[in-house]
Chains A and B, each alone.
Chain A
Amino acid sequence: AQSVTQPDIHITVSEGASLELRCNYSYGATPYLFWYVQSPGQGLQLLLKYFSGDTLVQGIKGFEAEFKRSQSSFNLRKPSVHWSDAAEYFCAEQTGNQFYFGTGTSLTVIP
């Protein structure tokens, strides 16, 4: 069975600093990968997705992610974090019509 691992449960960064959230997947030679963001008490919003092609994908809100097959990773990055980015971030992998999520990384942004 596939699994998605997010090694960092919680990350704190200063506003304006760069951010990288880690994600590792374990299934499929050509995985379909996603990053979602969840604000407290809300559903999940898609930040970006990777299906094939360019391994660096751009998303909304200034986020990007890089697919690295050799490392089975799909890390999310942002060059300069804003206070409004504080939220829970989930990496997910799609298999057919099923989506499986990692355990999430909680981001705190300090002034």
Chain B
Amino acid sequence: DAMVIQNPRYQVTQFGKPVTLSCSQTLNHNVMYWYQQKSSQAPKLLFHYYDKDFNNEADTPDNFQSRRPNTSFCFLDIRSPGLGDAAMYLCATKGTATNEKLFFGSGTQLSVL
């Protein structure tokens, strides 16, 4: 059974048109992450939530925003997608103990036309 679910699997948007990617989890984990992964590159941490506390990476562009309305859901909003934002976006979760692993969703592949 899927525990971290990302929808949609594939998303196509237009240059400059806002887009939202969603992630839900059934693990009741406190920590949720958004990673951006471009082709043949490492997943790059954009930000993470510890409960409601939002933690932005210093080099994450302002164009990327996130919302976490409750424990189960987390959203990635790209306000004005550029061609360079085309990538796989991975959501992950983790419990609060230090030695807990990340659980990843299958990702959303974003294309920008």
A89 to chain B, nearest CB (A): 11
* CB under 8 Å from chain B, chain A span 29-67: 32, 34, 36, 41-46, 49, 51
Interface residues of A toward B: which range?
20 to 34
Task: Write the chain A residue with the least CB distance to B109.
Answer: A41
Contacting pair B104 A98 (CB below 8 A): no
Asked whether B50 is an interface residue with its Cβ less than 8 Å from the other chain, the reply is: yes
Given A97-B31, A98-B48, A99-B33, verify A44-B42 contact (CB < 8 Å).
no
The proximity string for B residues 85-101 relative to A, scoring 1 for CB distances below 8 Å and 0 otherwise, is: 00000101010001101
Residue positions of A touching B, CB distance < 8 A: 4, 9, 32, 34, 36, 41-46, 49, 51, 90, 94, 97-104, 106
Residue positions of B touching A, CB distance < 8 A: 4, 31, 33, 35, 40-45, 48, 50, 55, 90, 92, 94, 98-99, 101-102, 104-107, 109
